[in-house]
Structure formats: structure tokens, C-alpha cells
Amino acid sequence: MFERYMETLPAPRPNGVKIDQMHRKVRPFVPEQFHDDPLYAAPTPAEAAQSKDTKRARLKRRADMAAEAKRIQEERVDAPSFVDQLQGVMEDIEEARSSEAQRKKAVLLNEEEGAESFI
């Protein structure tokens, strides 16, 4: 009914990275008779530059993320583990108990010596 008013629009070109990828990586595996297809056409210099910039930005971001992950991992390795922290606390408690026991023992000995002097 509205066919006479409808106009077929061409599909937009893919982004520069996809064009570059299709030309460099996919086209060699396409039969020779389809090499002239616009889908496998070489990218324009602007598209090639855009593709290159995008790839560099992604590579830099990945490298930054890897460096950050490595830094965090090294912090975790250098930090004492929970078990080490727990052992340190247990040693402190044991040391406090033993010093408390020694103090009580000394008080008892002093009291016994004082009691013997009255006998």
C-alpha cells in the first residue's frame, strides 16, 4: 500500500575497527570472486587511523588494569594473612596470661615470706 512512498536505505558502514578487521583478517579466507565486495574493502586512511587509535587505547587500558591488579596482589601478599594476625593475637594473650601468672606467683611468694617472718 505504501510501497511507493517507502525508500530503501543502504546499510551504514561498520565502524573503522570492524572494517580494518574484515579487510585484514577475514578477506584472506574469502573466495577470490568476493574480494571486491564492499564488506571486505580496504579502510580509508581516516578509518585506519581511528582503528589504530582505538586499538592503542584498549591496549593501554588493559596494561593499566594489569598493573593495578598486580599492585593490589602484591599488597595482599605483603600484608599479613588472617592466620598470621590470629597467631600474633594468641601470642599476645598467652604472654599476658603468663606475665599475669608470674605477677600472682610473686605476690603469693611475698605474702608467704611475710607470713613466715611472723612465725
As averages over each run of 10 residues, the pLDDT of the chain (119 residues) reads 81 86 94 91 92 95 97 82 84 86 79 62
Asked if residue 5 is part of any domain, the answer here is: no
User: pTM for the whole thing?
Assistant: 0.51
Same domain as 68, residue 100: no
**Which residues, 6 or more positions from 51, have their beta carbon under 8 angstroms from its beta carbon?**
16, 17, 19, 20, 21, 43
Predicted pLDDT of residue 114: 65
Same domain as 93, residue 60: no
Asked if residue 95 is part of any domain, the answer here is: yes
Predicted pLDDT of residue 116: 57
Q: Compute the distance between CA of residue 53 and CA of residue 55 in angstroms, rounded to an integer.
A: 5
- Domain containing 31: what range? 12-79
Asked if residue 2 is part of any domain, the answer here is: no
Closest residue by Cα to residue 87 from 78, 95, 76: 95
Same domain as 43, residue 86: no
Asked if residue 1 is part of any domain, the answer here is: no
Predicted pLDDT of residue 83: 81
Same domain as 49, residue 101: no
